[in-house]
Amino acid sequence: MVRVKHRYLLVNFLYPEPLPSSKLQDGLPEHLQFYQPTPDDFHAGNLKSAIQKGVTELFGEYGVGMVSTGLKVNYLSNATSTAIIKCPRAHFRMVWAALSFMTKLPGKDGKPVVVKVVRVSGTIKKIEEEVIRRAKLTIKRAQMGDGIGGSVNGIVEAVQKWREDDVLVEVGEESESSESSESE
């Protein structure tokens, strides 16, 4: 018996239109405006049907037949605007293309959106680790940006400093572990 193999796509929904000024919080960094929460009426069923509709438009009945057998939305977070989509390995590029051509969220408002496929993996574990890593990085950027004033330049400087600190810590940890293994 042949095992069907899958790919997992990590997807972010970015919103190019800024929030109305009444909804902006004081001190909110500019880069976080793209990472707005997804509307509550958007759910996994809407995303799956939007993907199938996009594949139909791009690849016709053949494409939707190949993709829909294993298509599943494993995770959708409206708060972080993140989704994990499971699809057949042989046809994951069709799903990726359909997501890339999506310009509006399905639903009543049809809010403009840019769908960005962040990572493709063969295991859901690696995708989940990437979701956690990216969430931590976003939180770190927001915290560092607030201390500097919240500007984009300040955030870039803070992230560069943070990366330098992390590299120094990682190098220090590696040298200590290699010294202890050499002494044994």
- Round to whole Å and give the CA distance between 120 and 9: 5
Parent domain of 23:
6-183
> Considering the domain boundaries, does residue 160 fall inside one?
yes
Predicted confidence at residue 176, as pLDDT, reads: 43
Rounded to a whole number, what is the largest CA-CA distance in the chain? 66
Count of domains for the chain: 1
Contacts of 100 (CB under 8 A, 6+ apart): 115, 117
In a domain, 169, yes or no: yes
The pLDDT assigned to 172 comes to: 40
Q: pLDDT tens per residue, the chain (184 residues)?
A: 778 899 999 999 988 876 665 454 555 556 566 777 888 888 999 999 999 999 999 999 999 999 988 899 999 988 888 999 999 999 999 999 999 999 998 877 788 999 999 999 999 999 999 999 988 887 787 777 644 444 555 555 655 555 555 444 444 444 444 444 444 4
pLDDT recorded at residue 93: 95
Cα–Cα distance measured from residue 15 to residue 103, given in angstroms and rounded to the nearest whole number? 10
Residue 31 pLDDT: 58
Asked if residue 94 is part of any domain, the answer here is: yes
CATH number at residue 119: 3.30.70.3250
Does residue 1 lie within any of the structural domains? no
Contacts of residue 118, Cβ cutoff 8 Å, sequence gap at least 6: 10, 11, 12, 130, 134
- Give Cβ neighbours of residue 113 (< 8 Å, ≥ 6 apart): 13, 14, 15, 16, 102, 103, 104, 105
Q: Is the pTM of this model over 0.85?
A: no
Distance CA 12, CA 15 (A): 10
**pLDDT reported for residue 169:** 40
